[in-house]
Chain A
């Protein structure tokens, strides 16, 4: 079945870049998403990429998509302590809509001063 995998933990120093990786199995995915969850808060959509793109940049965030390897990454430049959160990768499958997103387990990012 469809599956999304992420490493569970990442620790970086403040000011360094963070790279969070994700692999997925559904090659027909139309959209791939990154969500952020801060403690006690809901999920916040950070960014998304359409499957015919291989890169998207939005301020400190860079998303890279390798469709051949089914690999998605999120790079956060100049990581700050406020970036500490759980980051979820999700893919839309072939429905092209987001109600049935397939989610990873989330990567817990710890930013050390």
Chain B
């Protein structure tokens, strides 16, 4: 059973370009979470999705950032018109369902570098 798969591992973009980060949850998991780790900061919650639904996006910047988790295929975190401040490690996690203490299984992350 493969773990949470994120790709690409490293993504380089120039300012103004779009970045697409993909996350395939563990088999059987229907809940996906995205976290961001900025340099010198801890991980920060961004968004929580279930299949075809955004449940909680309270940690997402209001502009340029969007996330989806379609019925088929991976979850996508999309950053439009990237700026240097978007450079960070983006981690995806999945869980089988929502409970009081669902274990989160994390991917290896995507390191986004904006030139």
Contact = CB atoms under 8 A, between A and B. Distances in A.
Given A88-B42, A105-B41, A97 B99 contact: yes
Contacts of A42: 3-4, 6, 91, 105-109
Contacts of B115: none
Contacts of B101: 30-31, 48, 50, 92, 96-98
A90 B109 CA distance: 18
Contacts of B103: 45, 98
Nearest to B45: A100
Q: On chain B, which size bracket covers the interface?
A: 20 to 34
Interface residues of A, number: 26
Given A44-B106, A48-B101, A97-B101, A103 B91 contact: no
B70 interface: no
Interface of A: 4, 30-31, 35, 40-45, 48, 50, 88, 90, 92, 96-106
Interface of B: 3-4, 6, 33, 40-45, 48, 56, 58-59, 91, 93, 95, 98-109
